[in-house]
Each structure stands twice: as C-alpha cells, then as structure tokens.
Amino acid sequence: MNFAITTMLADESLGNIRGFGPLGDPQDPGGLLEGLISSIIGLMVVGAILWFIVQVIIAGYNFMTAGGDSKAFGEARSRLVNAVIGLIVAFMALVFVSVIGNLLGVDVLNIGDFIEKLSI
C-alpha cells in the first residue's frame, strides 16, 4: 500500500517549482550574483558622485575664504584636483568592469534597474 501511494505521488506534476526568494529561479542561476554585483557597483558609483559633489563644495568654500592666502588657496586647489581625479578613477573603473562584463557575457552594470529600485 505504501508503495502505491508513493507511485501515485511521483506521477503527479508539480508545475513550475521555485525556491524561496531570488535563489530559487532555476532558469537564471547567475541572476542573483549578477544583480548583487550590479547593485554594489551602482551604489559605489553613486557614492563616488556624491563624494565628488561634497568635495567640490568644500573646495569652493575654501577658495572663497582663502582671502589671498596662497597656502589656503593651494589646499583648496589640491582638494578640487583630487576630487576630479577620484571621479575620473571611479568612471574608469566603471568602464573597465563594463568591458570585462561584456567580454564574459554578463550584464553586471544594469545601473538603470538599480536606480529604479532606489525609491524613497
């Protein structure tokens, strides 16, 4: 009797079985990793842009308050140059990751979806 019940259950179709959460999509096994990397990179780029804006504001304030002091003027200029260099490095890293992702066939820079998920 027990064998007959097991056989009947084995013949029953369960349809499209999915696991819990995003880990359960068997048709897209790399989707979770791809989304995670895309979100991390998107968050880092947004952070770099915000940091650049803060540094430009601080450098502008330092320029205004330098009052002819060449040392303060040089420090403000150095802050501004370093902020621009940091932003360029962040975007170069973004381009590098994009090229590597395209070579591997993985869309890790889906920043549009990341920005759409940032709802307040």
Neighbours of 80 (CB within 10 A): 17
Alpha-carbon span 111 to 54, nearest angstrom: 22
Token code pair at residue 40: 């991390």
Share of the chain above pLDDT 90, in %: 22
Question: For residue 119, is pLDDT > 70?
Answer: no
For residue 6, the model assigns a pLDDT of 54
Average pLDDT over the chain reads 74
HEC string for 81-111 = HHHHHHHHHHHHHHHHHHHHHHHHCCCCCCH
Highest mean pLDDT among 16-20, 22-26, 31-35, 97-101: 97-101
Question: For residue 110, is pLDDT > 90?
Answer: no
pLDDT, tens digit (0-9, with 9 covering 90-100), for 36-81: 777 787 788 888 899 999 999 999 999 898 888 889 899 999 999 9
Alpha-carbon span 5 to 46, nearest angstrom: 57
Token code pair at residue 97: 């990751």
Rounded to two decimals, the pTM is: 0.60
Question: For residue 32, is pLDDT > 70?
Answer: no
Alpha-carbon span 41 to 80, nearest angstrom: 24
